[in-house]
Structure 1
C-alpha cells in the first residue's frame, strides 16, 4: 500500500501499518480525533469487554494498560474497579490525549518490541485492547510483559481473532505454559450494533491468564 494511504487515519490504514515509525505517524495524526472518528463512529466495544473481564475476575492494581492510546480501556475500567493504572503506548500524541483525561497515574512512551525502562514485577494486572491486531505487534512481546507483572498478576489481552493463529499467538501461549496459569479464551465482538457492515462480524479473543 502506498504511504499516503497508510498515513490516512482510519481503520484500514491502521491494519496496513508495517513499522513503528508508520504507527507513530498515523496515530500522531489521528490522536485528537480518535475517540470521535473511530471509537464512537465504529461503536468500538473492545476496551469495555477487557475492562469488564478484568473487574469480574477481581483484578488488582497497579495495572499496566498496554497500547493505551487515548485511554479508552482505562475510562471503561475506572467506574468498575478502583485500581491505579499506568498507560504504555508507542505514540506520545495518543498518550497526550489520554493524559488530559486524568485517569492514569503515569504515562509511558515506549516501543514494546524493545527493552523498556519498567521495573520488573511491579504490576498486579496487565490489560490491553486493540494492540495485538493487524499491523501492530505480535506475540514476541509477551515475554517482556510477563517480566513487568508480579506473581499471580491477572492478564486480560485482546487479540484480533483473525490474527490469533496466523501470527502465532496460539502457539506462543502454549509455549508459555510453565509461566502462566488459568489460561483461557473469551471471544467477543470488537464492535457494537452501530458499526459499519464491513466490520460488524469482527471478533476478538480475550486471552485471560495469571502469571505464575
Structure 2
C-alpha cells in the first residue's frame, strides 16, 4: 500500500492534540508494522539506529515515541545496552512489549513531564515522533532534563515539520546546553516506496548534553 494512500498516515499528519494521537494509534496498533512500515518501505528508524550506534551511543537508552518497537528492533543488533521505551499509546506499547526488546515500557506524553528522574538516561533515541501533527520543538527541554551529562540524543525530525514548527530557533536557544550538534538529511522511505511521499525527507539531529 502506498503511504500517501494509507488513511492512517493522512490522519496521523492531521493530528492536533495528544487525545487525537491516543485515539488514532489505539486503532492502528495491531496493523501498524504491516500496513504502514512494511508496505511503505519505511526506513527512518534504521537511520536513527545507525547514527546512534555510529556516534558511540551507550545505555541505558530511552526510545521516545517507541510505538511498536521498530527502532529498538533496528538498534538492538548494533549496540549492547538496556533500552526502555515510552509512547503516548498503551496499545502501541503492547505491540512493542511482545517483541521482548525493552527492559521497561511506560506511557508518556512528551508535551508534559515524563515520569522519569533528571539525568536518568545516557542515550535518547526517537524515530517518527517529531513529525507533522505530532511533537514540536518544545519537547527538547524535557529530553535534556532526563538525559545525563554527555548523554547522546539522536532523533528524526520531518523536514517539513522542522521548517514549519520552529526547530531551528529552538536549537539555537539550547546551544549552551548541548555539544557536537549535527543535522543529516535522509530519506524517510526506501527504494520500494512509490507515490507522492516516496521522496520525503527527515533531518537526523544528533547532539550531546553538555
- Which ranges of 4 or more aligned residues in structure 1 deviate by more than 6 Å? none
Aligned partner (choices 167, 170, 173) of residue 171 of structure 2: 173
For 1:197, the equivalent position in structure 2 comes to 195
SS of 1:145's equivalent? helix
Distance 1:126 1:25 in 2: 26
CA contact (8 A) 1:9 1:27 kept: no
In the TM superposition, residue 9 of structure 1 has moved relative to its aligned partner by: 5.5
Q: 1:9, 1:29 within 8 Å by CA — same for their partners in 2?
A: no
Identify the residue that residue 77 of structure 2 maps to in structure 1.
79
Q: Calculate the TM-score normalised by the size of structure 2.
A: 0.96
Task: For 1:45 and 1:177, locate their aligned partners in 2 and report how far apart those are by CA, in whole Å.
Answer: 29
Shift of 1:122: 1.1
Question: Hey, what's the Cα distance between the residues in 1 that align with 2:95 and 2:131?
Answer: 22
SS of alignment partner, residue 96 of structure 1: helix
Count of residue pairs the alignment pairs up = 205
Corresponding residue number in structure 2 for 1:112? 110
Structure 1's unaligned 5+ residue stretches are: 1-7
Q: Take 1:85 and 1:195, find their aligned partners in 2: how far apart are those partners? A: 30
TM-score w.r.t. the length of structure 1 is 0.95
RMSD: 1.0
Residue 149 of structure 1: how far off its partner (Å)? 0.5
- CA offsets per residue over residues 24-55 of structure 1, 9 Å max, x none? 01100000100000000010000000000100
Q: Distance in 1 between matches of 2:194 and 2:22?
A: 26
How do residues 35-46 of structure 1 correspond to structure 2 at under 5 angstroms?
A: 35-46=33-44
Per-residue deviation at 1:116?
Answer: 1.8
1:165 deviates by 2.1
Paired residue for 1:24? 22
In the TM superposition, what whole-angstrom CA distance separates every residue of 1:90-121 from its partner, at most 9, and x where no partner exists? 00000000000000000010111111210110
**Shift in Å, 1:196:** 2.3
Secondary structure at the aligned position of 2:124 is classed as: strand
Structure 2: segments with no counterpart, 5+ residues:
1-5
| 2:184 paired residue among 183, 186, 211 | 186
Report SS of the residue matched to 2:78.
coil
Matched, 1:130 2:132: no
Q: 1:48 aligns with which of 42, 46, 49?
A: 46
Q: Would you say the 8 A contact 1:9–1:26 is kept in 2?
A: no
